[in-house]
């Protein structure tokens, strides 16, 4: 296919017209993607890349059923949801059928950020409380209200970043966090920290509107909270008059395999008060949803303010949403997530036995993280090594990202059609790269991002790595405030 602009021209036009804080992947040598199919993306030269990170193209890039549903509806009608339309109610019925019964009321919106912003409005309207408890390293979206509750972002603004109505609870990370795998009951210990935060806030006259957490933290480092944690937190938050918001923007729609929703990993006895959805919901079409209880929805309505959203829940979006649900079912993508996810985790665990750089492999279904460490005991994040791996994989036409607060966690969240062969291919490549990196293990430990940008260590790393992959710009970018969740 001939392109309108050469890659160099596209890059130049982007520099000229697109805001400089909108970063591209692989800044040193960005990729121009012109088409995609299933779990593969193709650049302008027809080079094929295996996509291990795109949880938006949930049922596979350019899925024909999704495209057909969109085109068919677009040819007929697209308009706002103030007219009665069957797609809207049919989709609401289908979507809520995947959730526990009390989660029965939908608000359709257009992005994960819009969904979380609306969730905060619902929570604040419910009892008139204002404060929000969020987890350390969390990211919940790019609008002002969400930067306020996203330590992943506001921590980069210095002390001024955290607002007084925001309370940050430790991330329930049993590998790197406060209470680890050797703790007898990390779920209760982490929940007790939330309880203390509530008590302290109340002592200061503050009132909790909501606790918000991803059902599994993604940008925060592929963290799977210990089972039972959410139940205890919900109990404390409810006692304080607040509600529990489960952000499923990254992890929902069957990615965990065993369940349709990530929060269900906590056990049948846990039901959030609000669930927010995005990314995978429309397989690339911008749509999202907030689902809540009738009680919370009625409290929101009681303010007298109408809620109107021009694009949210339009017939085309709903047709697409329905097609995505159909494909998940028809192609048994949850089953695939279990089978391929287990296989991927098994392969990675074998690598862990072989390579001291792998500190931890954690995951469920097709949501897997590989925590790279310089030192198994101290668990010092191996940031430069993780960056090296993702750049080298890119040269092998494999797209993977490194995320988490130290950017040292290799993050898998591929389209759900990812296969055993794909898993084997990536892990074999990682094996090869790790084998070639043993020399790196003698690099003196550093803590990223602060240390890495100090000149002597920076130079040392560049010399020791000898991989010529890291430019000063890259290093600055890895440690810069602009880094964000991939997809």
Ligand X SMILES: Cc1ncc(COP(=O)(O)O)c(C=O)c1O
Residues that bind ligand X (CB under 6 A): 111-113, 116, 139-142, 214, 218-219, 247, 249-250, 278, 485
Residue 262 Cβ vs ligand X, minimum distance, rounded to whole Å: 10
> What whole-number distance in Å separates Cα of residue 384 and Cα of residue 474?
10
Residue with smaller CB distance to ligand X, 264 or 351: 264
3-state secondary structure of 402: strand
Q: Which two tokens stand for residue 157?
A: 């603004």
d(CA 394, CA 409): 16
Q: Decide whether 359 or 363 has the Cβ nearer to ligand X.
A: 363
**Count of positions (residues) in the chain:** 487
Extract the tokens encoding 260. Answer: 């349709």
CB 175 within 8 A of CB 371: yes
116 or 134: CB nearest ligand X: 116
What count of Cα atoms within 13 Å lies in the side-chain half-sphere of residue 245?
A: 31
Supply the minimum distance, in Å, between the C-beta of residue 253 and ligand X: 13
User: What backbone phi and psi angles, to 5 degrees, belong to 364?
Assistant: -150, 130
221 contact partners, CB below 8 Å, separation of at least 6:
137, 171, 173, 176, 369, 371, 403, 404, 405, 406, 409
What's the rounded Cα separation, in Å, for the pair 104 and 11?
A: 46
Report which residue's Cβ sits closest to ligand X: 112
Q: Minimal distance in Å, beta carbon 9 to ligand X?
A: 27
Q: Which residue, 42 or 244, is less far from ligand X as judged by CB? A: 244
User: CB of 110: closest distance to ligand X in angstroms?
Assistant: 8
User: How many CB atoms neighbour CB 465 within 10 A?
Assistant: 18
Tokens for 383?
Answer: 């940031």
Residue 139: CB minimum distance to ligand X, A: 5
Q: CB of 252: closest distance to ligand X in angstroms?
A: 10
Minimum Å gap between C-beta 22 and ligand X is 12
Q: Which residue, 149 or 240, has its beta carbon nearer to ligand X?
A: 149
Minimum gap (Å) between residue 441 Cβ and ligand X: 32
* Residue closer to ligand X, measured from CB, 145 or 293: 145
CA distance 392 to 469: 8
Residue 29 burial (CB count, 10 A) = 13
Q: Which is nearer to ligand X, 81 or 217 (CB)?
A: 217
Shorter beta-carbon distance to ligand X: residue 58 or 85: 58
Q: Rounded to the nearest whole angstrom, what is the least distance from the CB of residue 248 to ligand X in the complex?
A: 8
Closest CB to ligand X among 140 and 167?
140
Rounded to the nearest whole angstrom, what is the least distance from the CB of residue 134 to ligand X in the complex? 11
User: What is 408-472 written as a DSSP string?
Assistant: -EEEE---TT--HHHHHHHHHHHHHHHHTTGGGGGSPP--TTTGGGSHHHHHHHHHHH------H
* Cα pseudo-dihedral 174, 179, 180, 181, rounded to 10: -90
Q: Where are the alpha helices (DSSP H) in 396-454?
A: 420-435
At closest approach, how far in Å is the CB of 453 from ligand X?
25
Question: What are the start-end ranges of the H helices in 308-371?
Answer: 315-330, 333-354
**Is 42 or 367 the residue whose CB approaches ligand X more closely?**
367
- CB contact at 8 A, 39 and 51: yes
Which residues pair with residue 369 across a beta bridge? Answer: 362, 411
Nearer to ligand X, 116 or 483 (CB): 116
CB-facing half-sphere around the CA of 377: CA atoms within 13 A: 1
| Cα separations in angstroms, 130 against 1, 153, 377 | 53, 20, 41
């Amino acid at each position: 296919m001939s392109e309108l602009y050469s890659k160099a021209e596209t890059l130049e036009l982007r520099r000229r017209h697109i805001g400089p804080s909108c970063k591209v992947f692989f800044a040193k040598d960005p990729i121009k993607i012109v088409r995609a199919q299933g779990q593969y993306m193709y650049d302008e030269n027809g080079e094929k890349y295996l996509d291990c990170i795109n949880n938006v193209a949930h049922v596979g890039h350019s899925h024909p059923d999704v495209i057909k549903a969109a085109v068919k509806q677009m040819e007929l009608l697209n308009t706002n949801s103030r007219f009665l339309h069957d797609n809207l109610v049919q989709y609401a019925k289908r979507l809520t059928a995947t959730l526990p019964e009390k989660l029965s009321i939908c608000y359709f919106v257009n992005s994960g950020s819009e969904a979380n912003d609306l969730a905060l409005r619902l929570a604040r309207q419910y009892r008139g409380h204002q404060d929000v408890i969020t987890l350390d390293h969390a990211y919940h979206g790019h609008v002002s209200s969400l930067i306020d509750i996203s330590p992943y972002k506001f921590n980069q603004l210095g002390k001024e970043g955290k607002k007084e109505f925001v309370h940050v609870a430790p991330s329930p990370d049993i590998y790197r966090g406060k209470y680890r795998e050797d703790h007898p009951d990390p779920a209760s210990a982490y929940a007790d920290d939330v309880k203390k935060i509530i008590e302290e806030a109340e002592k200061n006259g503050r009132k909790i509107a909501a606790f918000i957490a991803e059902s599994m933290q993604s940008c925060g480092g592929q963290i799977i909270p210990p089972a039972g944690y959410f139940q205890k937190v919900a109990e404390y938050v409810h006692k304080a008059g607040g509600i529990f918001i489960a952000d499923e923007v990254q992890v929902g729609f069957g990615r965990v395999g065993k369940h349709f929703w990530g929060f269900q990993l906590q056990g049948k006895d846990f039901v959030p008060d609000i669930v927010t959805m995005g990314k995978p919901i429309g397989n690339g079409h911008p749509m999202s949803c907030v689902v809540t209880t009738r009680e919370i929805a009625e409290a929101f309505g009681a303010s007298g303010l109408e809620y109107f959203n021009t694009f949210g829940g339009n017939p085309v979006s709903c047709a697409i949403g329905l097609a995505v649900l159909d494909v998940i079912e028809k192609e048994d993508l949850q089953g695939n997530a279990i089978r391929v996810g287990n296989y991927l985790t098994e392969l990675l665990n074998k690598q862990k036995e072989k390579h001291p750089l792998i500190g931890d492999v954690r995951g469920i279904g097709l949501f897997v993280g590989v925590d790279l460490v310089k030192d198994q005991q101290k668990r010092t994040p191996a940031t430069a090594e993780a960056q090296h791996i993702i750049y080298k994989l890119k040269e092998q036409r494999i797209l993977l990202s490194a995320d988490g607060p130290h950017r040292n966690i290799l993050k898998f969240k591929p389209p759900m059609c990812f296969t055993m062969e794909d898993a084997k291919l990536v892990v074999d490549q990682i094996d090869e790269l790790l084998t070639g990196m043993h020399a790196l293990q003698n690099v003196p430990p550093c803590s990223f991002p602060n240390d890495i940008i100090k000149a002597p260590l920076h130079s040392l790393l560049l010399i020791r790595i000898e991989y010529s992959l890291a430019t000063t710009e890259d290093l600055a970018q890895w440690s810069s405030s602009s880094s964000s969740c991939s997809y």
